Structures are given as C-alpha cells and as structure tokens.
Amino acid sequence: MKTLKLFVAVALVALTPACFVARNNINTPLDPDRLALLVPGTSTADDVLGALGAPSDVVQLGRRSAWRYDHSQKKSAALSLLIVTMVNTDAQADRVWVFFDEADVLTHMAGTFEAQGARYKLPFQD
C-alpha cells in the first residue's frame, strides 16, 4: 500500500509541471481607429507617419510608394505527459497597406485586424 501511495505521489509530482503557455508579439499592435483618421486624397505621408508610426516595409512603385505595417501575435499551449508532448500554436496577424502618389499624398489604404483573435488551445480542442 505504501508503494502505491509513493508511486501516485511521484507520478503527480512528475506530471504537475507538464504544461505551458507562451505568447509572442511582433511589432506594436495596429489600431483601426488611428487608421480611420487618415483620408485618401488629403492625408500626407507625414500624417500617416504620425498616426501609425514607422512602417515595417517601404516599397517603391516607380515614383509612387507603398508602406506596409505588420503586427502578429502567436499563442501556444502544450501538454506533456511523460514521453508524449502535444503542442498547439495559433498565430494571427494585423496588416495595413497605405499607398502614396508622387507628391506623398495618400491614395489608397487597406487593412486586416486579426491579431487579437489568437487563442490558447490544446491540440485536441476545437
């Protein structure tokens, strides 16, 4: 009986630290309300810089340009039982593109905002 209790105690101690959660953010979260302040045909590159900060990437399109803003969030959860480890990672991203003409006036903009949708889930959860 003592052996069984000892085995159960050792098994519980061995399995207690068997899970983890982790979160990884890349770049500053993008705010859709700040994007709404920008008006195509009126806002300038300086206005965009003031509202959204420095872009992740700048693409030259002849005499025009496009700026890309990115933010991603990744959440992971894992369960490890002796020799089996189950890990699930959910990665979601925000992305905004803004386009400028030759005079650095905003012509077009578009964005997706999904980063806040990242969830912690184990592999066997829906």
The pLDDT of 95-117, averaged and rounded, is: 94
Task: Say what the pTM is.
Answer: 0.74
Residues 37-85: tens digit of each pLDDT: 999 999 999 999 999 999 999 999 999 999 999 999 999 988 877 777 8
Indicate the domain borders of the chain: 18-117
Nearest to 48 by CA among 58, 38, 36, 59: 38
Instruction: Identify whether the C-beta of residue 61 lies closer than 8 Å to the C-beta of residue 100.
Output: no
H helix count then E strand count, the chain: 3, 5
**Domain topology for 18-117:** Beta-lactamase Inhibitory Protein; Chain:B, domain 1 (3.30.1450)
Strand ranges for 82-117 from DSSP E: 84-100, 106-113
